[in-house]
Amino acid sequence: MTALRRLLTLAALAVVPVVALGLFFVVPVSGMLARGFVVDGVFDPGAVLEVLSRPRVHRVLWFTAWSAGAATALALVLGLPAAYVLHRLALPLRGVLRAVLLVPFVLPTVVVGVAFTQLLGEDGPLGFLGLAGSPVAIVLGLAFFNVSVVIRVVGGAWESLDPRPGEAAAALGASPRQVLTTVTLPALRPAIVSAASVVFLFCASGFGVVLTLGGLRWASVETEIYLLTTNLLDLQAAAALSILQLVIVTVLLAVSARLRAVPGGTARVVARPRPVRRSDWPWLGATAVLLVYVGAPIATLVAGSLRVEGEWSLGNYRALGTTGSEQALLVPVTDALANSARVAVDATWMALLLGGLVALVVTRRSRGRAERRLRGALDAFFMLPLGVSAVTVGFGLLVTLGRGPVDLRDSPLLVPIAQALVALPLVVRTLAPVLGGIDDRQRQAAAALGAGPLRTLTTVDLPIVWKPLLAAAGFAFAVSLGEFGATSFLARDDRPTVPVVIFRLIGHPGAMNYGMALAASVVLAAVTALVMLAVERLRVGSVGAF
Amino acid sequence: MVLSTHARSAVLTGLAVLATSVLGGCSLTGSSEDEGASAAERVVLVTHDSFSLPDELVADFEKRTGLDLEVRPSGDAGTLTNKLVLTKDDPIGDVAFGVDNTFASRALGEGVFASYAPELPPGAADHELPGDADDLLTPVDTGAVCLNVDDAWYAERDLAPPRTLEDLTEPAYRDQLVLPGAATSSPGMAFLLTTIARYGEGWADYWRELMANGARLTSGWSEAYQAEFTQGGGEGERPLVLSYDSSPAFTVSGGASTTSALLDTCFEQVEYAGVLAGADNPDGAEQVIDFLLSDEVQAALPESMYVFPVSAQVELPAAWARHAPRPERTWQVDPAEIDENRAAWLREWNDLVAR
């Protein structure tokens, strides 16, 4: 009876996100896969499997694996010191720095591609390295976009890590290095694994970066699916690669879930940031390297946006109220900004709602193996959008949503829904480790002391979840502001978002349009940074309130 | 204890649902925009991302016809065509514009379009799609993909700019060319077809020489022109780029263009419009095609979409007449042949330039 009730609860919590993901992810993806398997009305799996034996597919797979792996490693190497410095040390401007480091995550890839090209190109400041168009440039680009994920996810965990075990170890004579390797890192392992798996999946499905930074000499699974679908209409091959992608993602998620398992309920105490000590210098140095690495392309963009015909000028920014030269745009950039904000609000609440429910479902203590398995499977299920080609989803939405009573292809909500699905895994990954870290005994204690369910929620869960929830909201909002792949596929002409107009501007000749694209990118980056700053402020304010 | 977990979960669900409804009101996308079918009859134009027409013209059209024109951009010419093919049983609009001669025969073969033969303006018949016996597609605009040179760059170095495809493999022009790839961009595909038209079976050898001479490939036109070309927005370092015959009209400074198109390296592109088979509003779709062929739209095409009108009876903008001379001769490949060989050519090209 109780078991049944528990399962019912589980189902009730899971139903909204499962239906949403089913409708907007599973149905479209299977719709596309079906088109690959069924040729002229005949089920033909042989042809799909044959694709997997092509040597080119093997090359593509290998390249995807090692470039994503290298980029994940680089993001961790650069992100971990910054997570420590920006979340544990009392550094001036650390809130600003945290916000700034998130900016790359939302910049349109085309624009970053242009900035990187100017940096790495033959005549650029780093041209002597000869990296333009190389796989190194791709890895640098992938890590550039994703290092903020590491800082966010690991930094959040680091902040709420109880400092006392480390202090105790130090008091017992452990060197800082020993404290790090024997106390701190093991405690952070779930967060690190979580961040690494998200980053790896982002990198492995990083479509725009590979296309714009690597030129065409290197193909990843994602760009290959794009080529096969949009250019060759070879749906069998695309289906084969999509299935392969699904399998790999599932395996990866299973492995990372195992590694991530939270060791028992740990009480979380938010440590006060402490003053910088001499022993922190290596960490600060590594963070400085990261700032240069992330800052250089952004500085290139800002400088470019401030130049008109070789002179310093704000002309590009003034032009944002116009539709560009030669009517590059249908609506001014300022209108697109308003559209972006509206879409982002919708995408944010959807992602938070779905992500919050999912995080709750997957982190409740399970009784019995079946239930644990079920929760594990659900957890992995909601991570799938990270690893599946946006091209497949986009085309799938087109071919499957046109039927039925409502033609969802026409709905203005389609864009925010698609963006929410992109942000969903991120929200889940931000919330789940925190929710999972709450000791269930605290809730039991509260209940035993007479607190009702609501009071238990507000006194036990909420104080701990509050900050990550805000961080997740900001993150989802920022992701939505910058999302381009799905948006460009689904957005309507009269209501473009900022990345869509930037793409249009950069795709039209004329120096003014190019300048406007840079200016719009800087505005997008600035808005994102401000959003994240606001979240940082709220977080600081909420520390004392609970 | 179990009960309390259950109850708490229920409360959480309730809160979440409440939050949804409250927050939903905060955004306009969520609330006010679902007007559904408006009073005016709707006609949906599916097109590529570069589609753009002056607002006045569209407003005029809507007023005159009582139609509500909804424009839906759907990627580049290739993506657009494939979307149309994938959704042919349940079309995403009433009329499509932007399928070009490199993709047209795929759309014809798949039965995407319905017949419609509008009255063509003078000159337009020259651009009709070969093999389109059923009047499925109507030519709307034309342009040519050509190599562009930065004339000043060559003048400064006392070097004669290249003129032909052969010149590009000369050591004098080493490391000077940047072009978008055939697999990921439609001008890139046009250039691949140019070399196929010029060299036939020998195109692969030509590409080997081209790559050996330091040609750089980018994924799209923007990266090539805006970031790598010396006259693009981004202070690039390569003075030779693949673009359009109209591009020199956009690099005018002090009355002269700083760039020019190499008119011996051009591939003719024609963009077509067609009524979608199974459209909700086929009558409106036909009116949209008539609209695209009207003098007003034809005259607006250069400034709005950087292409030449198919109509011979409208005037070109002054800068175009002066700085964007059209090639006398363009390279061409039969659309049916393109359709048949596209996959094989692209695969071979990909293997040739990759790694």
Q: With 50 as the cut, is the pLDDT of residue A459 above it? A: yes
CA distance to partner chain B, nearest, from residue A221 (Å): 14
Stretch among A112-121, A422-431, B227-236, B308-317 having the lowest mean pLDDT: A112-121
Q: With 60 as the cut, is the pLDDT of residue B126 above it? A: yes
What's the whole-model pTM score?
0.80
% of chain A at pLDDT higher than 90: 10
Check residue A407 and give its pLDDT: 64
Check residue B283 and give its pLDDT: 95
Q: Report residue A40's pLDDT band, with 50, 70 and 90 as the boundaries.
A: confident
Handedness of CA A270, A276, A279, A284 (dihedral sign): positive
Q: Quick check: ipTM above 0.85?
A: no
Q: What is the mean pLDDT of chain A?
A: 81
Q: Do A453 and B106 touch (CB under 8 A)?
A: no
Q: Do B226 and A511 touch (CB under 8 A)?
A: no
d(CA B243, CA B224): 9
Check residue A271 and give its pLDDT: 65
**Residues B104 and B247: beta-carbon distance below 8 Å:** no
Which residues in chain B have Cβ-Cβ distances shorter than 8 Å to A112?
A: none
CA distance to partner chain B, nearest, from residue A288 (Å): 27
Check residue B163 and give its pLDDT: 94
A509 vs A173: which has the higher pLDDT: A173
**Partner B, chain A 272-311, Cβ-Cβ below 8 Å:** 304
Check residue A164 and give its pLDDT: 84
Nearest to A202, CA basis, from A67, A81, A377? A67
d(CA A429, CA A277): 32
Q: Do A447 and B16 touch (CB under 8 A)?
A: no
Q: With 50 as the cut, is the pLDDT of residue A289 above it? A: yes
d(CA A529, CA A478): 9
Of B16, B54, B223, the CB nearest to A117: B223
Q: With 90 as the cut, is the pLDDT of residue A492 above it? A: no
Both tokens of B294, joined, read 């009207």
A489 inside 8 A of chain B by CB: yes
Q: With 90 as the cut, is the pLDDT of residue A444 above it? A: no
% of chain A at pLDDT higher than 70: 90
Q: What angle do CA A312, A481, A532 make, to 5 degrees?
A: 80
Which residues in chain B have Cβ-Cβ distances shorter than 8 Å to A304?
A: 233-234
**Partner B, chain A 48-107, Cβ-Cβ below 8 Å:** 56, 59
Of B24, B237, B243, the CB nearest to A123: B237
Which residues in chain A have Cβ-Cβ distances shorter than 8 Å to B342?
A: 231-232
Determine the average pLDDT of the residues in A159-175.
85
Q: Do A504 and B49 touch (CB under 8 A)?
A: yes
Which residues in chain A have Cβ-Cβ distances shorter than 8 Å to B100?
A: none
Which residues in chain A have Cβ-Cβ distances shorter than 8 Å to B6?
A: 5-6, 9
Give the range with max mean pLDDT: B109-113, B171-175, B334-338. B171-175
Which residues in chain A have Cβ-Cβ distances shorter than 8 Å to B27?
A: 342-343, 345-346, 349, 416
Check residue A82 and give its pLDDT: 93
Stretch among A376-390, A510-524, B257-271 having the lowest mean pLDDT: A376-390
Check residue B269 and give its pLDDT: 93
Q: With 80 as the cut, is the pLDDT of residue A174 above it? A: yes
Both tokens of A135, joined, read 């796989």
- DSSP letter at A89? B
Handedness of CA A496, A499, A505, A507 (dihedral sign): negative
Check residue A326 and give its pLDDT: 62
Q: Report residue A265's pLDDT band, with 50, 70 and 90 as the boundaries.
A: very low
Q: Do B184 and A121 touch (CB under 8 A)?
A: no
A419 inside 8 A of chain B by CB: no
**Partner B, chain A 313-372, Cβ-Cβ below 8 Å:** 326-330, 342-343, 345-346, 349, 353, 356-357, 360, 364
Taking CA–CA distances from B73, the nearest residue in chain A reads A493
Stretch among A332-336, A511-515, B15-19, B129-133 having the lowest mean pLDDT: B15-19
Q: What is the DSSP string of A326-338?
A: GG--SS-HHHHHH
Return phi, psi of residue A249, to 5°: -60, -45
CB atoms within 10 A of CB A90: 10
Q: With 60 as the cut, is the pLDDT of residue B3 above it? A: no
Q: Do A326 and B343 touch (CB under 8 A)?
A: no
Stretch among A66-80, A351-365, B83-97 having the lowest mean pLDDT: A351-365
Which residues in chain A have Cβ-Cβ distances shorter than 8 Å to B211?
A: none
pLDDT tens, position by position, A122-131: 667 777 777 7
